Structure 1
């Protein structure tokens, strides 16, 4: 998820507006939204200058899962997850002598792994993001300027044997910039360890599965999606595109949220809080330009053109063949993690997923993006969902597939 930082910075100065109720359109092209289904979410956070969308979006997902299961609101600590994850990732890089990537990015599974194995703490049990180095929010420029060469230096060492002290040094860097993970803390008058706190949240961490859809692996099998930030190699269920889309719809309409990972580098993803799977051939026709001119436009000017078309922008219908081609040619990339929590429609009846971002209260909808269903299906890399949100017939196929492949629960 590498292009997130640039997009986040572009979003900082966008104007905001309330998205909960239908609005008067500034022009005939500005969408006017009516909410169809909206599930509870926690407050909008700001990852700022850090590549931690995977961390923010997935903890936000689990906060919503807790809300659904218990009615309680928590603010879980992203720095705890980042501290544990970066150490684990560094250990893997060193074990492989540097023949894999060490970076700020990650996946939803990294958060689940930490919750299950190392626990979690509330936000205020660790220093506020950025406070240890005099910033008001995360800024990983100096942090990773120290961390990356340190890990690379160990991983590429020519020594016949390395000591375990490199972990002590690395932990010092992590603690200096993220804060030291507490062994014990008090929350609402009760003492916890990170593991006992995670156990108290009312969740079954075995309820969560990851879904994807690509044709280079058989459908209704599990495999590790081949992207660099999927470094733990967790298995995702590979389903037909139609089933992948139906799970999303079913989850939201039945009160669940979805931890979504996908591509936001497409021209139809705007900094104003909208995303369309643009049919560029039709778009250039509507704008009065020819394709040669469209192709010469800078990304910023293309975005402005799409903004002017608004909800009248023509869209492509996603297909499995198209998804596979875009994945193989590096066009469909693993850019960003967000939280899908609702469904809305515009004045023309087009339906959108309501998506919580982690760029602060930016854009026209104060940190919420309205992304068409076509955009989401076309640009999904994978997503995490509670298995209880999966339609019964699809879940049964998954259970039967595991039995036929000799895989236990």
Structure 2
């Protein structure tokens, strides 16, 4: 094992080198007073990030996930509400994120208990088991997870199932569920090791699941089985559809067939034109598998452009914390010149950054427009779910270079793929390890 002990001579050499350049003292004062990003910010980049787009889908007010990790739900429901708005002339209509969030908690616990029982014979330090125990009650997710919930439970408007204090700020709930479900895992493993009967284990498992349902009910409310859909459209015309179920509502009011949509990934550290799945990331037993068809970035961009031109928005996964001005709603690879500020080499390829855990998808948003110059994209319009007080009334502008480096998945209708590309969807998928970050 390498052991490098720092000595006083090492410290002296560091101090001597630092003191050699007067520039270091100037920059020290600037960084200490203004912070790293404010000092490294390149305002010439900002000048090019205006909110003008040659292709743009007409959308309404943005939603606000507040202090929660439900962006994946917000983004899917954004695409659905855009579809509704176009058909029924109701631009600012919103679907209930809290409704799907409730069912995700119950379904996620259910599949977690299955995984714990499936791995009960593995030692406690097994990598797969540790992966499941990492954050069983978390609220992050993926496109396929949202689709699985929508297809099983339908949707309803926010007016029928509004947000709560807990759904707007989920950390306390996550903490409770993480502790509860880890303890449940301990109890179930102990029962298996003690040779308890399958019937006893099944009974205990159901009792645990009922407790999760109760916790979710306290936090979110219990979703109604039916509701009255009552609204006025943008022309002030009144509408009422009484006693409708969430599944009936989905089937009646939304034309999007979610089975027609595919996840195109761009993970250059993995084989291109290869289908990947990660069943260990699924949230609903029998639901859609989390996965993606890995393709070059130019394929992702072209399919997105085609879908936007046809008036349909696009869900996408990204690393929103990278080179991002949250308040200004700006995304550009050169927004902060930190390498120039510190005079260091920070260059890594997208594949290298994935391999070394430097760039992992952590957010989902919705593409609603693109600016094309000579048929090439220069910047993209992004609908975020952080409310109207950031960006341009909640909309971000994303430079095309940022998309290359920090966008990993887009959801497009498979009709925008070529025949050869669609054939790739029929290949046998590579199953990722449960602990695979991507």
Aligned to 1:255: 311
* Aligned-residue offset at 1:72: 5.2
Task: Return the alpha-carbon distance in structure 1 between the equivalents of residues 264 and 366 of structure 2.
Answer: 15
Aligned to 2:405: 378
Aligned to 2:358: 331
1:173 matches 2:226 = no
- Measured against aligned partners, the alpha-carbon deviations of 1:204-261 in whole angstroms (never above 9, x if no partner) come to 2222111102245443332126996889742311112221222222222332211011
How do 1:49-68 and structure 2 match up within 5 A?
49-68=67-86
* Aligned-residue offset at 1:27: 11
**CA 1:263–1:183 in structure 2 vs 1: closer, same or farther (change >3 Å)?**
same
* Aligned-residue offset at 1:266: 1.1
**CA 1:387–1:155 in structure 2 vs 1: closer, same or farther (change >3 Å)?**
same
**CA 1:372–1:169 in structure 2 vs 1: closer, same or farther (change >3 Å)?**
same
Counterpart of 1:339 in 2: which secondary structure? strand
* Aligned-residue offset at 1:328: 1.3
Aligned residues of 1:41 and 1:63 also touching (Cα < 8 A): no
Task: Return the alpha-carbon distance in structure 2 between the equivalents of residues 32 and 265 of structure 1.
Answer: 20
* Aligned-residue offset at 1:70: 5.8
**CA 1:265–1:229 in structure 2 vs 1: closer, same or farther (change >3 Å)?**
farther
- Measured against aligned partners, the alpha-carbon deviations of 1:81-100 in whole angstroms (never above 9, x if no partner) come to 11111211111222222641
Task: Return the alpha-carbon distance in structure 2 between the equivalents of residues 48 and 32 of structure 1.
Answer: 26
**CA 1:224–1:267 in structure 2 vs 1: closer, same or farther (change >3 Å)?**
same
Aligned to 1:93: 112
Aligned to 1:46: 64
**TM-score, structure 2 normalization:** 0.70
Counterpart of 1:189 in 2: which secondary structure? strand
Given the alignment, which residue of 376, 396, 399 partners 1:369? Answer: 396
Aligned to 1:152: 182
1:116 matches 2:151 = yes
* Aligned-residue offset at 1:178: 1.2
* Aligned-residue offset at 1:379: 0.9
Aligned to 1:83: 102
Aligned residues of 2:69 and 2:140 also touching (Cα < 8 A): yes
Task: Return the alpha-carbon distance in structure 2 between the equivalents of residues 152 and 371 of structure 1.
Answer: 40
Compare relative contact order (CA 8 Å, sep 6+) and give the higher one, 1 or 2.
1
Q: Select between 61-70 and 183-192 the one with higher mean Cα deviation.
A: 61-70
Aligned to 2:234: none
Task: Return the alpha-carbon distance in structure 1 between the equivalents of residues 46 and 115 of structure 2.
Answer: 56
* Aligned-residue offset at 1:149: 1.1
Task: Return the alpha-carbon distance in structure 2 between the equivalents of residues 225 and 381 of structure 1.
Answer: 16
Aligned residues of 1:42 and 1:60 also touching (Cα < 8 A): no
How do 1:105-254 and structure 2 match up within 5 A?
105-130=140-165, 138-157=168-187, 158-160=190-192, 161=201, 162-187=204-229, 188-200=240-252, 201-224=254-277, 233-254=289-310
1:399 matches 2:431 = no
Aligned residues of 2:260 and 2:413 also touching (Cα < 8 A): yes
Counterpart of 1:35 in 2: which secondary structure? coil
**TM-score, structure 1 normalization:** 0.74
Aligned residues of 1:33 and 1:344 also touching (Cα < 8 A): no
Aligned residues of 2:279 and 2:290 also touching (Cα < 8 A): no
Instruction: Count matched residues.
Output: 342
Task: Return the alpha-carbon distance in structure 2 between the equivalents of residues 339 and 230 of structure 1.
Answer: 22
Aligned residues of 2:49 and 2:399 also touching (Cα < 8 A): no
* Aligned-residue offset at 1:395: 2.7
Task: Return the alpha-carbon distance in structure 1 between the equivalents of residues 113 and 100 of structure 2.
Answer: 20
Q: Select between 201-210 and 232-241 the one with higher mean Cα deviation.
A: 232-241
Task: Return the alpha-carbon distance in structure 1 between the equivalents of residues 212 and 54 of structure 2.
Answer: 48
Task: Return the alpha-carbon distance in structure 1 between the equivalents of residues 323 and 210 of structure 2.
Answer: 44
Structure number with greater Rg is 2
